[in-house]
Structure 1
Amino acid sequence: MGRYRLTARLGEGGMGTVYLGVSPGARRVAVKVVREELAQDPSFRRRFAREVDAVRRVGGFHTAPVVDAGTDDARPWLVTEYIPGPSLHEVLRSHGALPATTVRTLALGLAEALEGIHACGIIHRDLKPSNVVVSDAGPRVIDFGIARAADGTALTRTDFVVGTRGFLAPEQLTGGPLTPAVDAYAFGMVLCHAGGAAPFPEGTVLEEALRTLPADLSAVVGDCLRQDPAGRPTPAEILQRLSRSGEKAPGDWLPGAVRTLVARHQAATVPAPGA
C-alpha cells in the first residue's frame, strides 16, 4: 500500500482494515486501508482528506502519530507509528480489572492525549478500550479524529451512530451538539471499565459503582459522566485535579501478567531476518 509492505492483518473496524506494515527504512507501521464502499463516496473522501490533515498536527507522548497517507488513491489509506502492545480491551478481557496504580497512570496518559487532540480542534468521538494501546511507556490513543470523516456517510444509514454504545455521551445518542465534552464522558467510561466499576448492572447507582475507584479518581470520573456536557471537566482540568492528589504514577505501571502480554505482542511483531 503506497510504499509500505503489508505483513499482517491487525484488525478491522467500521472504517476499514488495519495492517502491520514495514516502511522502506524497515520501520514497523500501522496501515489503515479504507473500506471499498466508503472509498467510492466522493464526500467521504473529501472529509477523510481533511481529517488526515488535522490529525497530522497532533503530537504528544500518548498518541500514535500519523506519518503518511494516500488520500487520493483508489483505496485511501493512513499510516501511523506502530505501537507494539495489546489494546486495553484485550488486557481487560484477559486480566480483568486493573490495580489502582495502573488505572491512575492510564487516566493521566489518556487525559494528556485528549489535551493534545483537542488543542488541534479535533474530537475523538470514539474513545474506548479497543482504541487504547497498552505499551511499556504508557497508554497510547489511536484512531483520533478519523471517526468524524464517516459522519456524512453514516447519516445515510438507518440507526447508525458514530461511536460505540456504552461509551457514547448522552448528546451523541440524542443528536445534540457535539463538543470535546463527549470525549470526557468516554474517558470516564473507559476508566470505569479499567477499574472494574463497569459495566453497570441494571439499577446501579453511579456513586456506589464508582466506590471501586480511588477517591480522587472516583470524583473526577463522576464529573466526567455528568449528563450536562457543560459540567464535565476538560483534559487540562483532569490533569490538574489528579496531579493535586499528590500520588505519583509509578515508573513500572503494569502488573506482571499484563507486562507479559505486552512482551508477547512485541515478540510476535519482530520481523524475521531478511523479511
Structure 2
Amino acid sequence: MVVDVPGERRRAVLRALPDRAPRRVGPYRILARLGAGGMGEVYLGADTRSGTGHDDVGPQLAAVKTVRPELVGDGAFRDRFRREMDTARAVESRFTARLLTGDAEAAQPWLATEYVAGPTLERAVREAGPLPVETVRALGLDLVRGLSGIHHARVQHRDLKPSNVLIGRNSAKVIDFGIARAFGADTMTATGAVIGSPGHMSPEHVLGGRHVVAASDVFCLASLLCYAATGRSPFGDGPLAAVLYRISQAEADLSEVPADVRELIEDCLSRDPAHRPDTAALEGRFRAAAGAGETEGTEAGWAVWPPVVRESVAAHEAEVAAAVAAAGPLATP
C-alpha cells in the first residue's frame, strides 16, 4: 500500500503485498510489506487479538519477519533463527525493539518485534543531512541506554550500524539481533571470518567473530554517532580492503565531528577494547552533556529531532494509520 502524505519528500515506507506474500502469520494479519533481507521478508502485521483498528487503542502492530522458503529446510539456519529469538527475548529495554512472539519450529519460521513508526538513522541522515549537536547527544543517550540493556542481558549486538537504529517520535531504538550472541557463547564464526557491516565495525570485528567483545559494540556506537554528526563514516570510503585496514588500526577521521560530540566519543574509538568506557560510564557522560529534559522532549512528546526528521516520522505514522484503517476490523471473534 502506498499512501500519499501531504508535503511528502520521500518514497513511501509501506509497500503493496505481492501475490506470494502471506496474509496471516501466527496471530498477525499482514497489512503491508516493509522490506527484505538476506534471510527473508519483513511485513507490517496487526495482532488480531488486540483490537479492531477502530477503537481508541487499536491493534498492536509488529514487524513480522518470515524466512525465505529455500532456507526453511536448512537445519543450521533454523538453529540461527532460534538463537536470534532467544537472544532478543533476553533483552529488556525501551530503547530496543522488543521481541513480541514467534515460532522457530513452524513450517515457515517467523518472529514478530515491536514496530517503530519512523525512518532508520541511515535514512534520516540521508534526508536531513548531518544532525545538530543536541540531536546527536540525545540520540547517543538513547542508544547508550539501549546498549546498556543489551549488555545487562549479557548479549553482544555485533551489528550496530545506522540501518539498525529506528527513529521514533519519542526515542531511538536499536533493532536486529540476527548476529547477536550471548557473552561467552560459541560464535559459530571461524577466526578470520568477517562479521558485521563494513564501515561500521570494530578492529576486533576485522580480526573475526571470536575476537568480538562487549566493548566492540561501544566502538561501533561511536562510529555510528560520527555518522549521525557528519553524514559519513569516520573511516571513510573507497575499496573495502582500505576501509577495513583503517578500522583495524583505529584510524578514525574525527576532523568534521563537532567538538561537543567528539569529546564524548573519542576514547570509544580506542584500538584497545580495554581502554574504551563501558555503557555505565557512557550513560553518565551523555546524561551530563544532554542536560535536564533535553532528551525527553517537551513538544507533544517529541524527542529532539530536527524538522525534516519529524516530518519523516509523521509521514510513517500517517501511512500506518491509513493501512490499519483500510484493513477494516481485525479482531478475531
Q: Please, what TM-score do these two structures have when normalized by structure 1? A: 0.88
Tell me the equivalent position of 2:93. 60
Q: Is the 8 A contact 2:137 2:289 kept in 1?
A: no
2:145 and 2:136 map into 1 onto residues whose CA distance is 14
Q: How does 1:164-175 map to 2 (within 5 A)?
A: 164-175=197-208
Deviation at 1:63, TM superposition (A): 1.0
Deviation at 1:23, TM superposition (A): 0.8
Percent identity (aligned): 38
Q: Is the 8 A contact 2:65 2:112 kept in 1?
A: yes
Tell me the equivalent position of 1:190. 224
Deviation at 1:227, TM superposition (A): 1.2
Are 2:281 and 1:234 equivalent residues in the alignment? no
Aligned residue identity for 2:313: V
Are 2:107 and 1:101 equivalent residues in the alignment? no
Q: Is the 8 A contact 2:159 2:180 kept in 1?
A: no
TM-superposition CA deviations, 1:200-237 (whole Å, max 9, x none):
4579996762553243x312321111111111111111
Are 2:325 and 1:272 equivalent residues in the alignment? yes
Tell me the equivalent position of 1:49. 82
Structure 1: tracts of 5 or more residues without a match: none
Q: Is the 8 A contact 2:118 2:168 kept in 1?
A: yes
Aligned residue identity for 1:51: E
Q: What is the total number of aligned residue pairs between the two structures?
A: 269
Structure 2 residue corresponding to 1:18, chosen from 36, 42, 45: 42
1:258 and 1:247, CA in 2 relative to 1: closer, same or farther beyond 3 A? same
The structure whose residues are more often helix, as a share, is 1
1:28 and 1:245, CA in 2 relative to 1: closer, same or farther beyond 3 A? closer
More deviation in 172-181 or 35-44? 35-44
2:304 and 2:70 map into 1 onto residues whose CA distance is 41
1:220 and 1:40 map into 2 onto residues whose CA distance is 47
Are 2:263 and 1:219 equivalent residues in the alignment? yes
Are 2:260 and 1:209 equivalent residues in the alignment? no
Deviation at 1:3, TM superposition (A): 2.0
Deviation at 1:114, TM superposition (A): 0.4
Structure 2 residue corresponding to 1:8, chosen from 21, 29, 32: 32
Are 2:304 and 1:253 equivalent residues in the alignment? yes
Whose radius of gyration is greater, 1 or 2?
A: 2
SS in 2 for 1:80: strand
Tell me the equivalent position of 2:233. 199
2:131 and 2:290 map into 1 onto residues whose CA distance is 20
Q: Is the 8 A contact 1:197 1:210 kept in 2?
A: no
What's the C-alpha RMSD, in Å, of the aligned pairs? 2.6
TM-superposition CA deviations, 1:69-109 (whole Å, max 9, x none):
11101221110111111111111111110001110110000
2:276 and 2:39 map into 1 onto residues whose CA distance is 29
Deviation at 1:36, TM superposition (A): 3.3
2:257 and 2:169 map into 1 onto residues whose CA distance is 25
Q: Please, what TM-score do these two structures have when normalized by structure 2? A: 0.74
Deviation at 1:40, TM superposition (A): 2.4
More deviation in 41-50 or 81-90? 41-50
Aligned residue identity for 1:147: I
Structure 2: tracts of 5 or more residues without a match: 1-24, 51-58, 182-186, 298-302
More deviation in 15-24 or 247-256? 247-256
Structure 2 residue corresponding to 1:146, chosen from 167, 178, 187: 178
Q: Is the 8 A contact 1:67 1:80 kept in 2?
A: yes
